[in-house]
Structure 1
Amino acid sequence: MTDITVRALGDEEWQVYRDVRLTALREAPDAFAASVSQEEKFDDELWQARIKRSRRLVAEDGDKIVGVVSVGSKPGNDERVSELFGLWVDPELRGKGVAWKLVDAGVRQARQDSYDFVLYWVGTDNGRAVAFASSFGFRPTDGRRAMQSEAEDDASSEDEMAMVYPLGDDPGAVPSSVL
């Protein structure tokens, strides 16, 4: 494996984001709260608006995009909280540090954007994801929600757990309002 680099996409690179997002949805349909059949129907204007809503970070192995994560403001009223979402890594590179580089870049971006916390929702049945987030420094909370899925054939009742990464000097200072 060559050196993996991570960079933020510019607004003009919406097609790059679209392509990697659709690749992720095709490869791991159960990992996302959307379906490839829905998102393939999105027009160019929607993709252009979507890339502007959040920072889209891609991992590259040379000229090949091998991963993606998004980081942006958490829906709701707490302006101190950023949310990390849409993490995907090419299956051939899983377990080789690509996800770590993406999450690290997302956390650094949230810090640069002056957030105090990064929120990351992880499936409670996904032990590997929970272990990964914990090893990075995300802490589990008692925040739970039903897995949000728009997939046509999804009958899953899996829950997600909110995990939080404090960006300030006091890692114990996680107010309940972050959830």
Structure 2
Amino acid sequence: MFTDLRMQYECLTCDRVSMTDITVRPLGEDDWADYRSVRLAALRESPEAFVATVEEEEAYDEAFWRARMQRSARLVAEREGKAVGVVSVGTAKTNDVPAGELFGLWVHPEARGSGVATRLVQNGASLAAKRGQTHLVYWVGTENGRAVAFASGMGFRPTDYRRPMGVVSEEDGEEEVAMVLPLGSEVDPALRL
């Protein structure tokens, strides 16, 4: 019986990706087409998670995509040269505290649960720390228990800050909560969003 259970477990995990098989790389302005490709894939697969639509973004020209690459850092997760996830890291709007903002996190459905999101967030936090940012802000739907649990497991802590959702869904609810990850220290009480 033990052998049967072990074989069943191995079959469940045989298609899983180990975290060592995942590479994360920053995308520069010249990588705009790579970012466009993974962004459009995210919009097609999870349209309810984004304010923009795939039709809108497909129509944008190269100049638009190049400008977008300059506004925030873009990180892509790859397995065997194929994009399996993406995240963006910008600058949070805070008072007096240098903080980054994590947004646009998406993982291809076949790679979910395999460590891709973890690697993207770790790399995003590392990038923010290298920029001298002391905190990383991540807005999460208050009703999205899975996303709140993931962020909490990564060390993010909920704050009292809320805002209306850009896209209202049953899974996320109608508002988002700012979750904050201190980068090397405790959450600064002066952090005001």
TM surpasses 0.5: yes
Q: What is the deviation of 1:172?
A: 3.8
Deviations 1:59-110 (A, max 9, x none): 0001100000000112466560110000000001111111000000000000
Distance 1:113 1:121, change over 3 A: same
CA contact (8 A) 1:73 1:79 kept: no
- Say what the alpha-carbon RMSD is for the aligned residues: 1.8
Distance 1:174 1:87, change over 3 A: farther
Query: For 1:53-132, what aligned pairs fall within 5 Å after superposition?
Result: 53-75=71-93, 78=96, 80-132=98-150
1:36 to 36, 54, 58: 54
Separation of aligned partners in 1, 2:100 and 2:70: 15
- SS of aligned partner of 2:166: coil
Distance 1:76 1:117, change over 3 A: closer
Distance 1:16 1:125, change over 3 A: same
Distance 1:164 1:90, change over 3 A: same
Q: Number of paired residues?
A: 173
Match of 1:12 in 2: 30
Separation of aligned partners in 2, 1:133 and 1:12: 31
Separation of aligned partners in 1, 2:52 and 2:189: 30
CA contact (8 A) 2:94 2:191 kept: no
2:177 aligned with 1:161: yes
Matched residues, percent identical? Answer: 55
Match of 1:136 in 2: 154
User: Could you state the TM-score of these two structures normalised by the residue count of structure 2?
Assistant: 0.84
Q: What is the deviation of 1:138?
A: 0.3
Deviations 1:111-140 (A, max 9, x none): 011101100000111110000000000000
- SS of aligned partner of 1:114: coil
User: Could you state the TM-score of these two structures normalised by the residue count of structure 1?
Assistant: 0.90
Separation of aligned partners in 2, 1:43 and 1:18: 10
2:188 aligned with 1:173: yes
Deviations 1:8-53 (A, max 9, x none): 0121000000110010011001112221122112111110000111
Q: Which runs of 5+ in 1 are unaligned?
A: none
